[in-house]
Structure 1
């Protein structure tokens, strides 16, 4: 629990909140609302935020029907985090945190999600085919008898639809945000009951084509959710997301946004976000962001000079408008004792003070070769010196 709380503190440090007081350490405003339709009580907790630019959370003891369901459509944990937090961040352009509460999605059922993500069942095909539905939005299987080849020939394109709700101060639903996620790689193991076999499928899709198709899928999704009771006439903000490959060390990115006001069932005007998440080092970083790539490479060499044979360094940079906004670095080292951890962490802190080539917030996570966190260093331009914490150190 100590490490969880520390992690949240570090998030606040990285984004610029000066205090490290958890929101729930304050006196939460709690009140009970009577759910007259179901005849039971629903307890609502308003979770305040230290930063006025963030949403207060409308937390109900009735959990979201789709809670955790995103893992069935999105394979990369980094993508899941980026979709959830990125959608909330982008929603601020439409739903002002000073006027709206955030609530996890309550209206789109898992049945509707399954229906939309399913492959279209075409006339003449058997309904026994895995993952098909007459209302499915994904392409139908290709031709032939081999399920694996049919799936490979017509890969699934739409991977998930994530809902977030925005309420006014009286608790009324006043807006909905949707993340419509597209595959960059279609990776799935398909079990076919008829043959008793599992068919592995792994297809790399054209990213440019997928990003364009996302707009069409979003309008189809919008038409479906307008049929959901309570969502007929609320503004719907839609953010289009392109996933990274499964297991990749950086998430995908939101690439376009649009809003359907009132009861509109489609979006005709999309705005590019200018956002990207890039892995350092990588061919993509070298080709698209050469200056940042070179700076990272030189900084990495300075880090590795401390333990040249036992150090692995990667970074994840958030880009907006072709400019680096923040950088997270992960360092894995084979430590032999606690003193090595402390000395290496102090070395990293000193590098950030004297040789930091990046004028953006940086968080450096230091772990052993098994992935066990050992220390963390955070630096921002408004800090006199980096924030340093060694997990196992005694004070």
Structure 2
């Protein structure tokens, strides 16, 4: 397949779909504003739409052979009671998010099928994504997908048990406590080790991607204050030597060493490997 950025949903149409349904916008996929400002308020559920097209060669032309539509759903909605007033947040119950997401996905499929350039038989996959809350240090995650093989109907929904956990873990991360405890313990040992080697580090944090209880990858950020090229080289080499003792192996791991002036070193372990490649990036 040949990947192509979305060509069938215009930006103007997308904005209409992302808006609330109202007397002036019948295409809005979010609920009509009920003018309430408590837990009974109708929140904005759908935050983002993304289209990706997959083409195949047809003589000298490209033929549309599949579409993936990403629908990002809010887990928390922000709003103002009066224009330019204070900003409030409204948490969205997970079950409500999922239910509204299914309804929205079904309507999106109908609208795509009505596009002459898409037709009735092009496979369309809908991927549902849960946005992280505004104060979250980790990103959101995909939580379900379904496929429409033809016509307006969507097939069975398939759950995706993915999550991103920030390390070292903080109190209150219930998902992390269930699946990431051992990973967190090892990361804290890694943190202690390199902080002992270079005590003037500002912070060592990571985002670990999980599928169920299995870690699938990790991005580590090491923020430091020194600038010497020799120190950076020595520190990066040291990290590459000790990281396999503490961080997951056989999965992609990226360690960024940065200062206030920018990225200084990138230390990378590829999938199915247990060793790291050191790249010195900063200019001195």
Does TM, normalized by the shorter one, top 0.5? Answer: yes
Q: What is residue 168 of structure 1 aligned with on the other side?
A: 56
Query: Structure 1 CA distance, aligned partners of 2:181 and 2:257?
Result: 25
CA contact (8 A) 2:256 2:265 kept: yes
CA contact (8 A) 1:274 1:322 kept: no
Q: What is residue 280 of structure 1 aligned with on the other side?
A: 167
Alignment counterpart, residue 358 of structure 1, candidates 248, 259, 271: 248
Alignment counterpart, residue 140 of structure 2, candidates 244, 252, 266: 252
Query: Structure 1 CA distance, aligned partners of 2:224 and 2:117?
Result: 52
Q: What is residue 137 of structure 1 aligned with on the other side?
A: 29
Give the SS at the match of 2:246: coil
Q: How has the CA–CA distance of structure 1 residues 342 and 173 changed in structure 2, closer, same or farther, with 3 Å as cutoff?
A: same
Q: What is residue 124 of structure 2 aligned with on the other side?
A: 236
Query: Structure 1 CA distance, aligned partners of 2:271 and 2:111?
Result: 46
**Residues 118-164 of structure 1 deviation map (CA, whole Å, 9 limit, x = unaligned):** 11216xxxx5xxxxx222111221236xxxx3899222011111100
Q: What is residue 158 of structure 1 aligned with on the other side?
A: 46
CA contact (8 A) 1:141 1:151 kept: no
Q: How has the CA–CA distance of structure 1 residues 358 and 172 changed in structure 2, closer, same or farther, with 3 Å as cutoff?
A: same
Q: What is residue 116 of structure 1 aligned with on the other side?
A: 17
Query: Structure 1 CA distance, aligned partners of 2:31 and 2:261?
Result: 39
1:185 deviates by: 1.8
1:165 deviates by: 0.5
Alignment counterpart, residue 196 of structure 2, candidates 305, 309, 330: 305
Alignment counterpart, residue 106 of structure 2, candidates 204, 209, 219: 219
1:317 and 2:211 are equivalent in the alignment: no
CA contact (8 A) 1:157 1:210 kept: yes
1:188 deviates by: 5.3
Query: Structure 2 CA distance, aligned partners of 1:189 and 1:276?
Result: 30
Query: Structure 2 CA distance, aligned partners of 1:187 and 1:299?
Result: 37
Query: Structure 1 CA distance, aligned partners of 2:119 and 2:135?
Result: 38
CA contact (8 A) 2:262 2:282 kept: no
1:209 deviates by: 3.0
Give the SS at the match of 1:350: helix
Alignment counterpart, residue 184 of structure 1, candidates 60, 66, 75: 75
CA contact (8 A) 1:185 1:246 kept: yes
Give the SS at the match of 2:197: coil
Query: Structure 2 CA distance, aligned partners of 1:215 and 1:322?
Result: 26
Query: Structure 1 CA distance, aligned partners of 2:14 and 2:38?
Result: 23
CA contact (8 A) 1:141 1:150 kept: no
Query: Structure 1 CA distance, aligned partners of 2:161 and 2:183?
Result: 17
CA contact (8 A) 2:30 2:44 kept: yes
Q: How has the CA–CA distance of structure 1 residues 381 and 273 changed in structure 2, closer, same or farther, with 3 Å as cutoff?
A: closer
1:210 and 2:101 are equivalent in the alignment: no
CA contact (8 A) 1:164 1:177 kept: yes
**Residues 180-235 of structure 1 deviation map (CA, whole Å, 9 limit, x = unaligned):** 1100121356985xxxx466342222234313432222112212222223123121
CA contact (8 A) 1:108 1:228 kept: no
1:390 deviates by: 1.1
Query: Structure 2 CA distance, aligned partners of 1:373 and 1:169?
Result: 41
Q: How has the CA–CA distance of structure 1 residues 371 and 211 changed in structure 2, closer, same or farther, with 3 Å as cutoff?
A: farther
For residues 262-281 of structure 1, the aligned pairs below 5 Å read 262-263=150-151, 265-281=152-168
CA contact (8 A) 2:263 2:282 kept: no
For residues 29-108 of structure 1, the aligned pairs below 5 Å read 100-108=1-9
Higher share of residues assigned strand: 2
1:239 deviates by: 0.7
Q: What is residue 392 of structure 1 aligned with on the other side?
A: 282
- Equivalences, count: 275
